[in-house]
Chain A
Amino acid sequence: MAGNRHQFILGLVIKKMREGGATISAVDGAYAGLFGEKIPLPPTILRHRPDAVGVKQDGRICIGEAKTESDIANNRIYEQLHDFATIELNGKICEVIVGIPKSSEDVFNRSLKRVGLQGNDNIHVLCVPDELIND
């Protein structure tokens, strides 16, 4: 298992993207689940490069993001989520799946509310129980 918290959470985000019907087309970084295979780097979308990109059968783009405690405290990520959740690609608004540690859920939700993203139907939050994350 990847020792890195970010990569660990990204793995579970990618699982959620796949189970939601997306075919993964691009992943950033040394992603463990690649098993050494090559896959393109995700393109920059507006101002940011997502961690993973997938395409659903109806052509809808699905964007995966993994966030650790330190990312969640950074305002930049909310600007990033706003970009991803409002852009139209392939004629459809993108679906965004964000994985966070469960212990950061309250802080994350408060920040989403502050920037007007709470309740956005295009953003799905995957809370990873901290007990599952290796330290």
Chain B
Amino acid sequence: MEKISVNLDGIPTEIKRTKIPLKQLILDIENPRIQYFLDTRLNDNVTQEKIKFALAEGNDQYEKLKEHIERNGGIYDPIWVAPQKDHFVVIEGNTRSFIYEELSEKYVNDGKWKSIDAYVMPHKIDRSVINFIRLEKHLFGPTPWDAYEKARELYRLHTNEDYSLKRLEQLTKLKAGDIRNNIQAYMDMEEQYLPKYNKPSERLKFSYFVEFRKNKDLKRLVKEGKLSLLEFCDWVGEGKFRRGEDIRKLSHVLKDEQSRQALIDDNFQAALDQLEQKNPAAKSKLFEKIEDVAEGLEGLPFGELNEIKTGLQPAKLDALKKLHYVVKNLLKDIGTTT
């Protein structure tokens, strides 16, 4: 087993190169190449067999690739896998893994088709590294993704994983305009799958949905089962929100039981009124900033703090003194002392 150190998405990563028996491989359900098949399947049951079917049927180059690997007697560019308990999920090279399986059935006595050359990633791997490998290998690789899969993956990274257009531009080498068009096309498609309400004024606003998908706190609440997409769609359809910005504050409302109830019984504004009793930042931009300042000061990095202490940052010290002076005078006016 050979250990190699490589940079993946700028992160120095130690990987191993080894041969892995086919029976230890798990084909990746998140493989962008098969997402059209999975999106349009007739039932919810997804098996490894169905993934294999999609890999072969969904790739016009499948037969050519198989013939090429068979004639060559194997692959020369290892697949990429991530460990998962006793198995390995194939991050890149799903089609080639399946071709090996087919060839191992054709040449039952030939050991070379029973295992496949692979780069093994560490146990704890950042999702961004996996995204990086997929994009690097397939957006422009020998068998690039189809239009639908490309647009879907760009949309997914932008909306679900908060990749900025700039970052996608750097990763994919596509022009920002092309990326935007792809994402927009997929959004236009997705919008048509959302629940619709009868009156035009009650139609689900897609920008709300995008805000919803981008918000990390809301994503966490969904994961914890405290919020569902359908519930959210209903609230939007019932006109509980006034603008997309409301969605950014939704998680604060949902975390407070009384505010949540006010949202259900009335609307988002009523929920904010309720929340304001406990958290003034809910409705006031000034108090929102005060919260940010307090949080920022508490988390001031040691190096920066040390520079202020040792007199290397006099302007910062002046800013802190000014803040202290203003707050002290205000509290005095109010009649409260700390």
Contacts and interface: CB of A to CB of B under 8 A. Distances in A.
A122 to B, nearest CB: 14
Interface stretch (B110-118, B182-190, B216-224): B182-190
A61 interface: no
Given A1-B149, A32-B37, A131-B151, A27 B189 contact: no
Q: Which of B57, B60, B186 has the most CB of A within 10 A?
A: B57
A112 interface: no
A132 B53 contact: no
Nearest to B49: A35
Contacts of A36: 53
Interface of B: 36-37, 39-43, 49-50, 53-54, 57-58, 60, 146-149, 151, 181-182, 185-186, 188-189, 192-193
Contact of B147 (A2, A16, A102, A131): A131
A106 interface: no
Nearest to B145: A1
Nearest to B36: A1
Question: SS class of chain B's interface: helix, strand, loop or mixed?
Answer: helix
Contacts of A129: 185-186, 188-189
A132 B186 contact: yes
Contacts, number: 76
Given A32-B58, A35-B54, A39-B42, A1 B185 contact: no
Given A18-B42, A132-B189, 11 more contacts: A11-B36, A12-B39, A14-B42, A31-B42, A37-B42, A129-B185, A129-B186, A131-B151, A132-B147, A132-B148, A134-B146
A46 interface: no
A16 B49 CA distance: 24
A16 B186 contact: no
A19 B191 CA distance: 12
Contacts of B36: 1-2, 8, 11, 32
A14 B193 CA distance: 11
Interface residues of A, number: 30
A24 B43 CA distance: 8
18 contacts: A1-B36, A1-B146, A2-B58, A3-B60, A12-B189, A14-B42, A15-B193, A18-B42, A31-B42, A32-B36, A32-B37, A34-B42, A35-B37, A35-B54, A37-B42, A131-B181, A131-B182, A132-B189
Contacts of A37: 42
B193 A16 contact: yes
A2 B182 CA distance: 19
The 3 A-B pairs with the shortest beta carbon distances in the complex, nearest first, are: A11-B40, A129-B185, A131-B185
A59 interface: no
Contacts of B188: 102, 127, 129
B41 A33 contact: yes
